[in-house]
Structure 1
Amino acid sequence: MPRSKLSASPTGLWADDSGSASLEFVTVGLVLLVPLVYLVLAMSSIQAGALAVEGAARQAARVFVQSADLDSARASATRAVEFALADHGIDPDSASIAVSCEPRPSSCLTRQGFVTVTVALSVALPLLPPVLNGDFPVAVPLTGTATQQVSRFWSGG
């Protein structure tokens, strides 16, 4: 027996739902898919920034302890950070670099001394206009730190 267009159910004339499954699928699919895609974009942007600051700090600490003097060490560390961040597609001017030394903070390149390089960066969330600056964060702050020991055979000038 063919199904009638109008049902005799107590819900009224709109009880027939034939053909609405595709509309519901598209609607629910968009409602769930759009936030999921944005979440993937945001997480990949944050992960790229995290990998960039960690790699930049590690490479800057390595070149710092291998330099001949303090001026060339600072210049080499700055170049290493710029190169590492540019390699990940991040503007190097948006990062800040801090160098600390132990056991003597006044002299970084001492034999068997430790040099710690910290690179800080804020990664903007994707697809948010810069005008949007409310009570919620529009950037995620990231920090990468690396420590290297100066060689015991170091003989700098």
Structure 2
Amino acid sequence: MPRSRRWTDRRCTGRPRTDLASDESGSASLEFITTGLILLVPLVYLVLAMAQLQGGAMAVEGASRQAARVFVESPTAEEAVLRAERAVEFALADYGLDAADVEVTVECSPQSARCLTRRGYVTVTVASRVALPLVPTVLDLDDRASVAVHSSATQQVSRFWSADR
């Protein structure tokens, strides 16, 4: 029995052979995967970078707030400085930051020889740099690809504060 011409001109697809050269079946999924990867990689990096920056911002904010609180509740100025340093170390350790990389500034208002005076204000400022993720350390790129974050917190010394506690 001779084969029909329809069978030999068509492969298993059921289309004539002339259409096979322009066949695009399956290319939409390939285009979707390629476009998805091109868009997904920067999006994932953006999420990682924003999470890193948010963590650094929350770390310095918490460190400054806690340092100001323990500073105004200390019995002496010397102990206040030690307690504030310890509070900064603890707050930064919670977020995985090194306390050696931050700059802590304590300012007192009104300006006097003693920082702890009744109803005086103590402002603690904590500043740091947060490195962006996946930046190589070669050619000092990690230093250039970092964002400065800082926070200040002000607390008032109690009107009942005394050095005799």
Q: TM-score, with normalisation over the residues of structure 2?
A: 0.85
Root mean square deviation of aligned Cα: 1.9
Partner of residue 83 from structure 2, selected from 43, 67, 76: 76
Q: Which has the larger radius of gyration?
A: 2
2:136 alignment counterpart: 129
Structure 2 counterpart SS, 1:28: helix
Secondary structure of the structure 2 residue equivalent to 1:84: helix
Correspondence for 1:58: 65
Q: Does 1:90 align with 2:97?
A: yes
1:92-143 C-alpha deviation (Å, 9 max, x unpaired): 1111100000012432100000000000010000011121546x94101000
Q: Give the aligned partner of residue 3 of structure 1.
A: 15
Runs of 4+ in 1 over 4 A off after TM superposition: none
2:51 pairs with one of 39, 44, 66: 44
After superposition, the Cα gap between the structure-2 partners of 1:115 and 1:22, relative to the gap in structure 1 and judged at 3 Å, is same
Uncovered stretches (5+) of structure 1, i.e. residues with no partner: 8-12
Distance in 2, Cα, partners of 1:92 & 1:4:
73
Q: Are 2:148 and 1:141 equivalent residues in the alignment? A: yes
- Tell me the equivalent position of 2:37: 30
Structure 2 unpaired stretches of 5+: 1-12
State the Cα distance separating 1:4 from its structure 2 match: 3.8
Aligned equivalents of 2:159 and 2:17: distance in 1? 89
Distance change (3 Å), C-alpha of 1:75 and 1:6: farther
